[in-house]
Amino acid sequence: MALDDEDSAVIIYTSGTTGQPKGAELHNLLTNVAAVGVLYDLDPTRPDTYLLAAPLFHSLALTCVRNAATA
């Protein structure tokens, strides 16, 4: 199945700090760019171990999990 850059990848729900709680839709292009950015900073070919101390509902944690799943 082909994915378009504008297709929804994930929906992160906000707490509504400045208004009503709502879902923030993240598109494939944004999540791909974020994943490449993390891969640029962290060399996945090195035999290091990384500790992810962010909750899975946080966008950084989702990016890291996506990188690990597709490495």
* Res 71: pLDDT: 59
Q: Note whether residue 3 is domain-resident.
A: no
DSSP string, the chain: ----TTSEEEEEEP--TTSS--EEEEEHHHHHHHHHHHHHHS-TTS-------S-TTSHHHHHHHHHHHH-
Instruction: Give the pLDDT confidence of 16-61 residue by residue, as tens digits.
Output: 778 888 888 888 888 788 777 777 777 767 777 767 787 767 777 7
State the residue range of the domain holding 16: 8-70
What's the sign of the alpha-carbon dihedral 27, 23, 35, 56? negative
The pLDDT, as a whole number, for residue 22 is: 86
Q: Residue 22 domain-assigned?
A: yes
**Number of domains within the chain:** 1
Residue 67 reports pLDDT greater than 70:
no
In contact, 60 and 53? CB cutoff 8 Å: no
* Bridge partner list, 8: 27
- 26 or 64: which leads in pLDDT: 26
> Does residue 69 have a pLDDT over 70?
no
